[in-house]
Structure 1
């Protein structure tokens, strides 16, 4: 059977509130999660895992707009700059969640949103743009809230399913665990064709982990 693509898109908050330890830990966590993503891809040979990244601050931009196979993907460290224009980032993603450019035979895409703050633009318009696309409605959506100031209500609306809550990371170890889970469990879910997958109300076939509240030296 020919491979069917799974498009995985990181949506990363790079606003000034992420500066210092948060952005350093985020870069480290994603880089360290790549081998596990490759292992998941190897365990699902019928699916081709393709990665790319959107960062958002005062503007939103693609780090890699062209999808990169996971075996060829090299992480580029992101840096902080300015505001939290989530709506612009979602609008960029929405343009890629139409057919074309998405192929009709793709498996469910994965949208993984990571943020530590409150959007500073019209995020609802961006979310509506995602929801208006067929692939946006089918997507496996993951959200990670970094620290106590993250707007979990926004992240919950992004997920679009009240039974699944944003993961909360309050230190580096929790963030690493959340990124690792988002990088693997979501890909596993997206890689498995399911009866009823055309219905956006179908439950996601995974549950988020319980992140240990350990004694990391930094607490966000």
Structure 2
């Protein structure tokens, strides 16, 4: 997916065993020789799913889906090594707790390759959705080092809070399908009030005027 005409940006979307992940690229600052798309672990800020907690509690499924770290790497040159780095956040700083080299599991002739590595995922089970962060480091044949975006993950399937700008909230943070009925009924109530309030006010002022107009006449007749 891309917005090339106005933003020169592109999003690569990957689906891995039902897990959806993506990487955004901005080509206004030039092209990239290496593109890294981590497919697991998932970014706990954006790409969790409703059945993720069930996968975590179901041991048989969890061993298959969350038992390995996986990433796609697209490169112009040959990739020499791919490493996953896991950090633990503590008091605003990050501490490296895991650094492990990954193995290529797809054909070597493809421009894009899948790299995986088994890990002890139970060590990262935590009640906080952003305690652990990870990134992928790649080194190509020229010795250049590239890193993916540092992102939080939650093996438990918990969702981290996201600080949105107003435009980001409108596009990605707002659940418009859930707001459809509240917005519809609020709009109908507002339109109904536009009709009802003037009519009620007019009736009220007419009654006030008639009472003031008829009151002196009734007083003179009674006298």
Specify if TM > 0.5. no
TM-score of the aligned structures, taking structure 1 as reference length: 0.24
TM-score by length of 2: 0.24
Between 1 and 2, higher relative CO (CA 8 Å, sep ≥ 6) is seen in 1
